[in-house]
Structure 1
Amino acid sequence: MGGRRRRANRADMKGNSSLNPLSFQLTLFADYGPLRYLFFSLCLLTYMTIISANAVIVLTVCLEKSLHQPMYIFICCLSCNSLYGSAGFFPRFLMDLLSDAHFISRPMCFLQIYILYTYVGDELTLLSIMAYDRLVAICQPLHYHSKMTFRMVRYYCIFAVLYPAFAVGFVVYLASQLPLCGNKLSRLFCTNWPVVQLSCVDTTLNNVGGQLLTMVSIFIPVFFILYTYIRILLVCRRQSTEFRGKALQTCLPHIITFLTYSVLLFCELSLTRIGADKINTIITTVLSLEYLIIPPIINPLVYGLNLPQIKTGIIRVLKKGPAAKL
């Protein structure tokens, strides 16, 4: 059935005026009339909150020398990644809320795909590195300073950026080379698989590449994080109540972040594979936006409120601001 459809599409390629469209239409946007200004205001407030909260974490870690430790450096990188991912989504989304025609150019569409997918990859890679950091700190405390040196931390941070950059770049490059026979995307923003489905030719290589990317960028980090925390739990069972309390205090923010992100990302993956056009529009909208909005807001709150060192550092930095002006 799929083969006949592709052959029919290829037969019509010459006469199809939408072959290799210069822009894509995001069809999930509806005409909300005056309500769109309310939605725009709420989304703008959300974006400003994300920028402010994550910027405070970044500035606090950078300015406070007491926080120049591996765990806090990774938290700072997590906030930087939230700012990066939000910048790839919110400005364009805010423009579309006020626009009557929801078209995005082909280059900008693939750029958005690249930014959002590298954001996801960076997030999970950083969470994996943070889980390893906690594993060494709790299970091998005597070797912590020899294993988690600033040189190694720098290498881990570089790996967290470059690994998703190349992996996602390869998959996006494959999609960008496909001849497309349509331009309608039933989404609020560009994602890779809906674009691939518009192709007139066989997409087996893209499908395999996408599944491989999902495996190495999502499932392997998730299983690694689960493995590290199982080991941490086994070690904590044999320790004192005080030890378990300290371990829980440093691990709890990371566990909350990991569980929240995993659930929201699973919803997005399910939506991508099922097809947005087969689900209620409201449900599709919620599932599409969750992983781009909730983690960048929750992460600074979780780390800022649960880790006393960061909370104290934030207060100290905020106090320094008015004092410097005086």
Structure 2
Amino acid sequence: MSNISIILIAYKGIYGHRFIFVGLLTLLYPIMIVSNAVLIYTIYSERSLHKPLYILICNLACINVYGGSGLTPFVLVNIVSGNFHISKSACLIQTFSVMTFGGCEIMNLMVMAYDRYISICFPLHYEKIMSSSKVMKLIALIWLLPFIRTGISIMINANLKMCGRIIEKVYCDNYSMVKLACSGIREVNIYGSTVTFFSVVPPLLIILYSYIKILMICSKLTQSGQAKALNTCIPHLVAIANFFIGCSFEVYQSRFDMNHIPYTLRVVLSLYFLILSPVFNPILYGVRTQKIKVILTQKLMCRLKV
């Protein structure tokens, strides 16, 4: 593999605002690490939270740390150093990190929707269906499938001969790298589109099906029953909306003309699901999930007394 230098040209467009970006990222990255770490520790250390829903929330926090850490330090270093070049091998590693983060997150959100569907629609069979062994197998699939799919894409991209060197973003992604290739673009795009379709559409359909069924069941419950059932779903629904809005920004940024949008805003939107989503999720679940909020408050009070 020819280790050519690729230019991430978007850094030049935001260089005049570099201090703002450095300040924001320096603030957001520690918040992301600490908030997700606190959520992971709280669920791991509290036996009453060792249930499918909370284990999946814990796994989501792990995915957030993985995704945010795969990109944010790199962006910070590049802005501070003023170095806008990246080798092809480093670009492929970054692409792998971005793609696996997105793949793991959407699969985890899908399994969480399935968990809520079983909990609300089949409450008497919940413990049997969502057994500990099944949850562990689902978590293994959440990580393995995106890593396998992305690994194949990266191996294909690694063998492409590059004729271009400029990516109009602050990080590498699969679509931008394929556009730099001299030949074989059509075949790679067909494979990439197929993988993207099966990575996004089935999970999205499962999420939609789960919540349609949940709403049908809730319509038959008493008002208090509806409130209790929907209250457990609200953080998850907000997390889903947050993730897909961020992904939409990223897809639109990569594939369509955005010259009508200010350059700095385009960069912020492209970073949304990679940085803001991992910051937002643990705060959302810590505040909106009653049991986690109570245990977090208890642990904090104990620490303050000590």
SS of 2:6 mapped into structure 1:
strand
Instruction: Please point out which of 103, 117, 121 is paired with 1:121.
Output: 103
Provide TM-score, normalisation by structure 1. Answer: 0.89
255-264 or 156-165: which moved more?
255-264
Q: Does 1:256 align with 2:238?
A: yes
Provide the residue aligned with 1:77 in structure 2: 59
Task: Call closer, same or farther: CA 1:192–1:278 in 2, change over 3 Å.
Answer: farther
Residue type of the alignment partner of 2:288: N
Provide the residue aligned with 2:22 in structure 1: 40
- Structure 1 distance, partners of 2:75, 2:264, is 16
Q: Does 1:98 align with 2:80?
A: yes
- Structure 1 distance, partners of 2:14, 2:53, is 45
Q: CA deviation at 1:280?
A: 4.2
Residue type of the alignment partner of 1:57: L
- Structure 1 distance, partners of 2:262, 2:112, is 37
Q: CA deviation at 1:41?
A: 2.2
Task: Call closer, same or farther: CA 1:238–1:88 in 2, change over 3 Å.
Answer: same
The answer as to whether partners of 1:139 and 1:232 remain within 8 angstroms in 2 is yes
272-281 or 41-50: which moved more?
272-281
SS of 1:24 mapped into structure 2:
strand
SS of 1:25 mapped into structure 2:
strand
Provide the residue aligned with 2:196 in structure 1: 214
- Structure 1 distance, partners of 2:197, 2:15, is 42
Task: Call closer, same or farther: CA 1:31–1:81 in 2, change over 3 Å.
Answer: same
- The number of residue pairs the alignment matches comes to 306
Provide the residue aligned with 2:113 in structure 1: 131
1:273-298 CA distance string (max 9 Å, x none):
22567864234212211111221122
The answer as to whether partners of 1:25 and 1:184 remain within 8 angstroms in 2 is yes
Provide the residue aligned with 1:170 in structure 2: 152
Q: Does 1:274 align with 2:283?
A: no
Provide the residue aligned with 1:152 in structure 2: 134
- Equivalent runs, 1:298-317 vs 2, <5 Å: 298-317=280-299
Residue type of the alignment partner of 2:275: I
Residue type of the alignment partner of 2:228: K
Provide TM-score, normalisation by structure 2. Answer: 0.95
- Equivalent runs, 1:105-116 vs 2, <5 Å: 105-116=87-98
- Structure 2 distance, partners of 1:105, 1:275, is 26
The answer as to whether partners of 2:94 and 2:172 remain within 8 angstroms in 1 is yes
- Structure 2 distance, partners of 1:247, 1:271, is 37
The answer as to whether partners of 1:20 and 1:182 remain within 8 angstroms in 2 is no
Q: CA deviation at 1:39?
A: 2.5
Residue segments in structure 2 that go unaligned for 5+ positions in a row: none
1:244-271 CA distance string (max 9 Å, x none):
1111110000001101111221121122
1:127-148 CA distance string (max 9 Å, x none):
0000000000000011101011
The answer as to whether partners of 1:21 and 1:180 remain within 8 angstroms in 2 is no
Residue segments in structure 1 that go unaligned for 5+ positions in a row: 1-18
Q: Does 1:62 align with 2:44?
A: yes
SS of 1:180 mapped into structure 2:
coil
Residue type of the alignment partner of 1:270: Y
- Structure 2 distance, partners of 1:160, 1:110, is 21
1:93-117 CA distance string (max 9 Å, x none):
0001112221112111111110111
The answer as to whether partners of 1:186 and 1:277 remain within 8 angstroms in 2 is no
Q: CA deviation at 1:318?
A: 2.6
Identity level (%)? 32
Task: Call closer, same or farther: CA 1:186–1:34 in 2, change over 3 Å.
Answer: closer
Q: Does 1:239 align with 2:211?
A: no
280-289 or 89-98: which moved more?
280-289
Residue type of the alignment partner of 1:306: R
1:59-78 CA distance string (max 9 Å, x none):
10001111110000000000
262-271 or 109-118: which moved more?
262-271
